[in-house]
Amino acid sequence: MTGDDYLAVLDHARANGYAIPAVNCTMSPIVNACLEAAKKANSPMIIQFSNGGGAYMAGKGLKNEADQKAAVMGCVAGALHVRALAEFYGVPVILHTDHCSKALLPWFDGLLEANEEYFAKHGEPLFSSHMLDLSEESIEENMEISAKYLKRMAAINCFLEVEIGITGGEEDGVDNTDANPEDLYSKPEEIHQVYKALNPVAPGMFSIAAAFGNVHGVYSPGNVKLTPPILEKGQAYIKEKEGLDTDKPVYFVFHGGSGSSREDIREAIGYGVIKMNIDTDTQWSFWDGVKDYVADKKDYLQGQIGNPDGPEKPNKKYYDPRMWLREAETYTVDRLYAAYEDLNAVDALSK
Ligand SMILES: [Zn+2]
């Protein structure tokens, strides 16, 4: 889904009080598990690639140089895989890329070139949206660069996600585990600054990953407390300052959704969260499936020939990658179905 169709999906989520899971995909079995989960839940799905995930999609045998070519091509390959299959699953699928810091802008440029090329041929961008994360820069510079890119993206109906403040924890090589606690909570003025910078460029074509104590990764209960009312304050502040009728003038994105309670998730949705990122929990479910398979079939996995049924029995049907990866997939489908439940998004397409 791109352009107006994409906005219609987000508005449907906001109007019906649910959010869409966004899963970091690094290989086709994970992509397919996402599509399978979306079909099972009868709900939209956001498939996203990080910079490292894109490079992995391209194959680690290709070195990802400073021009980010391997990461770009891996993301493009992943997107084409999704586009070839999505319609057979019968659910709306959104294609997105995750965090892009200033150092990774060549990756972003390469992705936009791929979108522009695709747009010239098909009248829509290859990806529905991209994230630009310049939260490590000053908010002024963050918004200046973001507005420049949004203008270029709006010309091809591509949507932009930006980040302000800091998502705690560690993901894809970015470590914020020692962040200043104050930076983990966005102020209403900062959220309004994003609105002022981006809405005039392309009204409604952007979302905000604001910091409300969210953390990448799953840790034992710690110092940071998830505080969804920060999002409510931001919406109310924009409504008041801009004299708007709507209670939720901006789309919010929830990063670091893994390990969050259903109560906190539902509260955040109530304040305009329409997308929740899940990475760590699906990494675990994928591994958990393999772990249980290996434990269950241990005696059939020690050599190509010979198992408890006889010394000459072949083990091919046990070590075939489709056997153990299928367990990884089904565990991931189950984990994502639980995410749809948390996000109040089961059977969303019937709402
Ligand atoms: Zn994130």
**For 168-186, what is each residue's pLDDT tens digit?**
777 777 787 777 777 788 9
**For 270-286, what is each residue's pLDDT tens digit?**
999 999 999 999 999 99
- Between the CA of 168 and the centroid of ligand 1 the distance, in Å, is 9
Contact status, residue 121 vs residue 144, Cβ threshold 8 Å: no
- Between the CA of 98 and the centroid of ligand 1 the distance, in Å, is 7
262: tokens are 């259903």
**For 25-73, what is each residue's pLDDT tens digit?**
999 999 999 999 999 999 999 999 999 999 999 999 999 999 999 999 9
- Between the CA of 245 and the centroid of ligand 1 the distance, in Å, is 30
Give residue 220's pLDDT: 62
Give residue 171's pLDDT: 77
Q: Which of 4, 98, 245, 292 is catalytic?
A: 98
Give residue 98's pLDDT: 98
Give residue 236's pLDDT: 98
What single-letter amino acid sits at 121? K
Give residue 108's pLDDT: 98
**For 75-87, what is each residue's pLDDT tens digit?**
999 999 999 999 9
User: Which residues partner with 132 through β-bridges?
Assistant: 162
**For 118-158, what is each residue's pLDDT tens digit?**
999 999 999 999 999 999 999 999 999 999 999 999 999 99
pLDDT of residue 117 exceeding 90, the answer is yes
- With 0-12 / 13-18 / 19 or more C-beta atoms within 10 angstroms meaning exposed / middle / buried, residue 248 is buried
**For 214-241, what is each residue's pLDDT tens digit?**
888 776 655 568 899 999 999 999 999 9
Identify whether 98 is a catalytic site residue: yes
Domain residue ranges of the chain, discontinuous segments joined by + = 3-296+334-350
pLDDT of residue 96 exceeding 60, the answer is yes
Give the whole-angstrom CA distance, residue 70 versus residue 186: 34
- Between the CA of 23 and the centroid of ligand 1 the distance, in Å, is 11
pTM of the prediction?
0.95
- Between the CA of 344 and the centroid of ligand 1 the distance, in Å, is 21
Q: Report the CATH architecture of 3-296+334-350.
A: Alpha-Beta Barrel (3.20)
- Between the CA of 133 and the centroid of ligand 1 the distance, in Å, is 9
